[in-house]
Amino acid sequence: MKKYRTMLSIIAAACAATLGAAASPLYYTILHALDEDTLKVFTDAGSGTLSVSEDGGESYTTISRFSFDRRGRALAKTYALNNASEDALIRLDASFNASDQGQPEDTVVETTAAEFIDSLMTYKRYRWLTYAPVYVSYEKLPSIVEIAVSDGRFTNLTAAVIQEGLAGVLSEPGDFTVFAPTDDAFEMLGLTGDDLLAVPNLKEILLYHVLPTALDGEAVAAAVTLETLLGKDLEVYVEDGTNLFINSAKVIIADIEASNGIIHVIDAVLLPPTLPNIPETAAAAGIFTNLLAALQAAGLDTVLTNKGPFTVFAPTDEAFAALGLTGDDLLAVTNLADILLYHVVDGRLKADDAAAAEKLTTLLGEDVKVSVNDDTIFINDARVILADVAAENGIIHVIDMVLIPAAMPDIVDIAAAAGFDTLTAALELTGLDEVLRSDGPFTVFAPTEEAFEKLPPRLLNFLLDHPKYLEYLLLYHVVQGSLNAEEVFAERSLKTVSGRKVYPRVIKGRPYINRSAVIEADIEASNGTIHVIDRVLIPWFRH
């Protein structure tokens, strides 16, 4: 009997514990991140903690750590609240990653245990699982254009931006800094309404107010100059330790954050300086008389007055004199235009930009080598003695030597240097080497040494004994004009200098001329292009 009483006592205790649990549903709580009106869908979710304090907030004990899923839901253990006093402080900390609706702000909720429990809604499926909303706010910043439009102080600026087609750029994602003149700033210039929109260089003026990177006021103040989207620099200085000026415009409101950058409001319109062009700048310097005469003789002076921009490595008169090239001697140089183009690079490159490169491609199409030694920049072997001379359409770096482009070898020289011994010997035997040294241009399908070795010995001996047939075979490898690989394989057939056709084709992704595979393409020579093939092309002979 005693045994049965003990068992009944255990069963009764278990039932009491179960009923107590059913009456205290705070086992788990679903925390759902949402705003006042609509559920937000998360991209990278988030995490948080739930803590309780019995000492009025002096110290908190974490009772649950949780992670939000992609829909902002998290499961927090809350059964410890069953034993917490009603006035115990509850602290909810939640942090969220970016969602496709914007960036949720981190949430901190502090309340009492009683208020927290009262806010819970019983989950319909399980009595012990309850639901607690976590209200979060989303910070979705407007774009630079949206801020300017809504502010009301930038009607002239926004009208100009829209007319010049820059509204799309300054509304899209990016990192820009905009120095925004107010309407008062435009009125000071007498430029408002239609008068402003009729300004011929309005787009250039607007680009002069924009930087390609987002810089706050502190970063702006730390700079000496800032390069704008126009490619021209702004000067920065701080007056009395507090007043920030961009050129002569004062920053009256700094650090207005936008989704795609930062706005600094200024009290004056920034007008880009008008500089002389490259030839005018060189003429004013007085040390480039030979360079200017050469540019004029080659007809390149008008090119360097164009919009560009260009970077010019400008040799001084002393540099030309060191070569013995001055006056009429200089103007009589046959490749003068090539030499001059070898001094010009497309784009506006400051000294630091040039120094960061190992080589620069000139307008001649050939590269110059860039090196730095003891903080001195060298272009090939020429020393930059004065850098960053600004012009309206580019920049000039003064150098102490004339840059002479290396003479590109002709087709025969390249073949000889590359080890095409049989081919070059055959060309010399037939006298075609002189033809392939002429101006041309030519396209040559050049067989390798191995290609000639594949010929039957009797055929090779016959060709060597009969130069007339050898010449005909060699001419079957030459096409008039300089054709790169793309141009070659755009044709179904090509007429060779021999009068017969060869047939370019691509088989399983591999290029062929007749049955000869092209193993190396687009070798440039001064008078044409070479494509290397692995078999000798054999025309049909007529005896």
Bridge partners of 111?
A: 90
pLDDT of amino acid 15: 38
Residue 403 has pLDDT above 80, yes or no: yes
Higher pLDDT, 46 or 423: 423
Lowest mean pLDDT among 2-16, 34-48, 69-83, 221-235: 2-16
Residue 35 has pLDDT above 70, yes or no: no
Helix (H) / strand (E) containing 385: strand 382-391
pLDDT of amino acid 23: 40
Q: How far is CA 326 from CA 291, 322, 329, 332, 342, in A?
A: 9, 9, 6, 10, 18
Full 3-state SS string of 256-277: EEECCEEEEEECCCCCCCCCCC
Quick check: helix, strand or coil at residue 98?
coil
Q: How confident is the model over 263-281, as pLDDT tens digits?
A: 999 999 999 988 899 999 9
263 burial (CB, 10 Å; 0-12 / 13-18 / 19+) is buried
* DSSP-derived secondary structure letter, 541: P
pLDDT of amino acid 328: 83
pLDDT of amino acid 542: 40
pTM: 0.49
Confidence of residue 42 (pLDDT cuts 50, 70, 90): low
Confidence of residue 191 (pLDDT cuts 50, 70, 90): confident
- Residue 96 contacts residue 33 (beta carbons within 8 Å): yes
Listed in sequence order, the residues at least 6 apart from 410 whose beta carbon sits closer than 8 Å to its beta carbon are: 436, 437, 525, 526, 527
Token pair for residue 41? 């869908």
Alpha-carbon span 356 to 376, nearest angstrom: 13
pLDDT of amino acid 448: 94
Closest listed residue to residue 254, CA positions, set 144, 262, 246: 262
Q: How confident is the model over 412-466, as pLDDT tens digits?
A: 999 998 899 999 999 999 999 999 999 889 999 999 999 999 988 888 888 888 8
Angle, vertex CA 541, rays to CA 535 and CA 543, nearest 5? 150
CA distance between the termini of the chain: 130
Residue 407 has pLDDT above 80, yes or no: no
Residue 56 has pLDDT above 50, yes or no: yes
Higher pLDDT, 105 or 415: 415
316 burial (CB, 10 Å; 0-12 / 13-18 / 19+) is buried
Residue 104 has pLDDT above 50, yes or no: yes
Residue 502 has pLDDT above 70, yes or no: yes
Confidence of residue 1 (pLDDT cuts 50, 70, 90): very low
DSSP string of 208-219, one letter each residue? TTEESS---HHH
403 alpha-carbon distance from chain centroid: 30
Angle, vertex CA 440, rays to CA 435 and CA 444, nearest 5? 75
pLDDT of amino acid 99: 65
Angle, vertex CA 14, rays to CA 10 and CA 15, nearest 5? 120
Alpha-carbon span 50 to 45, nearest angstrom: 17
Range list of H helices, 316-417? 317-322, 327-331, 336-341, 351-355, 411-417
Quick check: helix, strand or coil at residue 126?
coil
Confidence of residue 72 (pLDDT cuts 50, 70, 90): confident
Lowest mean pLDDT among 133-142, 180-189, 329-338, 347-356: 133-142
Higher pLDDT, 141 or 492: 492
pLDDT of amino acid 526: 83
What average pLDDT does the chain have?
A: 87
Q: Quick one: average pLDDT of 515-533?
A: 92
Q: Quick one: average pLDDT of 335-351?
A: 92
Q: How far is CA 57 from CA 47, 94, 296, in A?
A: 22, 18, 84
Residue 157 has pLDDT above 60, yes or no: yes
pLDDT of amino acid 323: 86
Q: How confident is the model over 270-327, as pLDDT tens digits?
A: 999 888 999 999 999 999 999 999 999 998 988 899 888 999 999 999 999 988 878 8
Alpha-carbon span 136 to 369, nearest angstrom: 58
Alpha-carbon span 346 to 353, nearest angstrom: 13
Closest listed residue to residue 220, CA positions, set 174, 266, 182: 266
Q: How confident is the model over 117-156, as pLDDT tens digits?
A: 888 887 777 777 888 878 776 667 889 999 999 998 999 9
Alpha-carbon span 341 to 365, nearest angstrom: 9
* pLDDT > 90: percent of the chain: 55
Alpha-carbon span 144 to 177, nearest angstrom: 9
Confidence of residue 192 (pLDDT cuts 50, 70, 90): confident
φ, ψ for residue 23 (rounded to 5)?
-80, -15
